[in-house]
Amino acid sequence: MRRKAVEVLANLKNIVILDCDKEALYKQCVSIADKEVFAFRMVNHTDATEGDAYLDMGKVDTSITLTVGCIQVIFLNKFVSSILAFINNFQAAKEALAEVTVQAAEKAATGVMELAERSVRISLDVDFKAPLVFLPQSSSSTNVTVADLGMVTVKNCFALVDSQTHVKIPPIIDTMTVVLSDLKMYRTTFEKGRFQGEIQVLKPVNLDLSIQRNLSASWYHSIPDIKITAHLKPMNLILSQDDMTVVLRTLGENMSETSDAVSPRPPPSTVDHSDTATTGGTGTISTSGNIVVTAAMVETQKSTKLKNILKVDFKFDSMTLVLYSPNGTEVTIASLHTFTNTN
């Protein structure tokens, strides 16, 4: 008897990365601000869209539910460089890991192509609190710039396309809706082991994104393979001289700090300076300085019908920039932007 569905559950309750340097001002480089890091649930339905069920848009092959909590990250280039210096001590293991990563990426790309060819329907229900990124001015400074990436919600649905030429097996589109809400930026200070105060730099921003995919793109070309519609709501920036000073010093100090640990030098490479020659299908190249081209062939391309692969529609409502001079004078600069691009 075949199983009707296979369910996979995964949960991660907590994650903490500590800087064990006794003189470190920021001890917790990565921590979780919610009850859990993520909760993942995937249900794979067997033959859910076979036969007559293909026309039922409520039927899906796989349903994925993901909830991600808010992760707090304190980015210090000095700490990151110390980790990289430690990893460099294991050069062979790093090369093996890179090779495995490349192979896994190739397999994943192959799997995605197969899914696209078979028009597999995957239902998504993702709620994730984007990371809270803290950028200290330096590893010893209490001035911190914070990027709160807000809340991200991802949902999708499927629909049939009305087509006069494909009635028996109509084309299907997958519409994914992504809502990014309450993205903001502010300054704060780190005192007595806590972040205290909040000086607004970027007021909360919302972004609505719709991604429409043609699941029948291999044989139905009347609509684009991918259509992206984005709507960025009004942006309000508030900047003073102190804000600009902290941001510029963060770029100059934090980003330029490195660890005291010294990475091992790579072994010197040996170069054979003897005269060698390389031959190819179209010529001969010699290290002695002589280059000889023996043949060249130009092949003309056949004219093909253009296909509308990607269509982008981006709308930017407005941006308001409020600048404060040292004497407290306020200057407001407003600009409107609407952009549409079709490829």
pLDDT for position 110 = 62
Residue 206 near residue 180, CB atoms below 8 Å: yes
Residue 89 near residue 82, CB atoms below 8 Å: no
At 331, is the pLDDT very low, low, confident or very high (cuts 50, 70, 90)? low
50-64, 82-96, 254-268: the lowest-pLDDT one: 254-268
Higher pLDDT among residues 282 and 157, named by residue: 157
Per-residue pLDDT averaged across 304-329, rounded?
78
pLDDT for position 277 = 46
Report the distance separating Cα 184 and Cα 205, nearest Å. Answer: 6
pTM over 0.85: no
Report the distance separating Cα 340 and Cα 151, nearest Å. Answer: 26
Helix (H) or strand (E) holding 103, with range, is helix 91-118
pLDDT for position 330 = 58
At 279, is the pLDDT very low, low, confident or very high (cuts 50, 70, 90)? very low
Cβ atoms within 10 Å of 200's Cβ, excluding its own: 14
In the 8-state DSSP scheme, what is residue 54? G
Report the distance separating Cα 147 and Cα 70, nearest Å. Answer: 13
